[in-house]
Amino acid sequence: MARNRVIYQSEALFVSDNASSAATTGHEQIERVQSANFSYTINRQDVNQFGNLARIDSIVLDPPTVSVDFSYYLTAGFNERALGFYVDTGIAQRNFASGHMIASSGKNIYIATSPEGTDINNDGVLTTTDTVIGIGNAYVSDYSVDMSVGSLPTVSLSMEGANVNSVASGSGFLTPAIDQEAGTALGLRVALPTPDSGISTPITALRPGDITVHLADVDGETIADLTGTDGAHVQSVSLSLPLSRTPLDRLGSRFPFAREVDFPVTVSMSVSAIVNETVAMNLTDTLQSGVQNASVILNDENGAGAIRWDLKGAQVDSESFSTAIGSNQSVDLTLTAQVGGPADTTAGLFCSGASITEVFGTT
């Protein structure tokens, strides 16, 4: 029976360990998903000639780029680890983006859809009644976290892929991934794991009331008092990690043989707060100051640490104040840091999380 529509209850989002993953153990379901979108554009070059008013052909010169973006509620780091980011769980610390700074074939993203009126997380193993849309050889191009008063902390992620396919059966199907060197389909048959409601952590979502922002190192380089019990009242914090990539093409290949990160990578933290106190500060001294550290800690409802972000080697880029009749004076602060190499523990964005659930069969 044909569906009348597709809504969120019928969809589940999966990510592969790498582009050549085929077994169920090589895939994980992304939890707490709030939205998922994808699109592609085909760029063509018209071929015209004297003697014909209309074009005689339209040739694809550049391979299409498939764009996919999705958002989910932040929990304890399971999704981040599945997506290839480094989340410290007691092992040697590395840059959060270190897993995306090396050459790879990318990941595959799958959007599975169950029959209408069925909760896919309670419907068991995917069968011939389920459909799947796959995006092959996808690379993360942007990762951002938004935390603010009155809303749940949310992650937004954008990826760029090389191919997309749609299959009418979720019970074993051809991968959307391609061999980037040869520009041909891999031809592997994929089996996705059984969708579930998310068992990696008991945390359903993190609350804004359990977020602590540490800006002690930055205090003294800003006019607003940012620390202590009398410090500014932080209203929102956002982290942005852009990972723009350049496709590398060559003659004889229809697809880019690699998509490498454009360096340097600059990660930013934006803080908005209500001002109540100011401190002594001299801008000329700030111009000569060194780098600083800032951190954001998110606890669960029991007060235990769920996930933590540390921005190391940061510098204050801007501070702006705003006052108007009928509103509180506010300050907006922007800090930036450049991401160092995988073994550099002094510069970039670092993350630690409470989730130790295995990802792709390993911790």
**Tens of pLDDT, residues 48-73:** 999 999 999 998 888 888 999 999 99
Q: How many domains does the structure of the chain reveal?
A: 1
**29-33, 97-101, 254-258: which range is least confident on average?**
254-258
Q: How confident is the model at residue 231 (pLDDT cuts 50, 70, 90)?
A: low
Indicate whether 151 belongs to any domain: no
The answer on pLDDT for 107 being more than 80 is: yes
CA distance 200 to 19: 23
| Per-residue pLDDT at 148 | 93
- Mean pLDDT, the chain, rounded, equals 85
More confident residue, 59 or 288: 59
Domain annotation covers residue 27: no
In a domain, 76, yes or no: no
- Domain CATH code at residue 243: 2.30.110
Q: Judge whether 83 lies within some domain.
A: no
Considering the domain boundaries, does residue 244 fall inside one?
yes
Flag whether 16 is in a domain.
no
- Give the model's pLDDT for residue 283: 47
Average pLDDT over residues 135-154: 94
| DSSP string for 282-331 | -HHHHTT---EEEEEEEE-TTS-EEEEEEEEEEEEEEEEEE--TTS--EE
Omega within 30 of 0 (cis) for the link into 264: yes
How far is Cα 296 from Cα 307, in angstroms, rounded to an integer? 9
pLDDT at 14 over 90: yes
Confidence of residue 349 (pLDDT cuts 50, 70, 90): very high
pLDDT at 113: 92
Q: Using CA atoms, how far apart are residues 3 and 250, in angstroms rounded to an integer?
A: 43
State the residue range of the domain holding 266. Answer: 208-353
Residue carrying structure tokens 């937004």: 156
Q: What is the pLDDT of residues 260-271, one digit of tens each?
A: 888 899 999 998
Rounded (5°) CA angle 306-153-84: 65
Note whether residue 348 is domain-resident. yes
Q: How high is the pLDDT of residue 282?
A: 47
Banded pLDDT at 37 (limits 50, 70, 90): very high
How much is the CA Rg of the chain, to the nearest whole Å?
23
Does residue 221 lie within any of the structural domains?
A: yes
Question: String of b and e for 48-58 (b: at least 16 CB within 10 Å)?
Answer: eeeeeeeeeee
Three-class SS of residue 198? coil
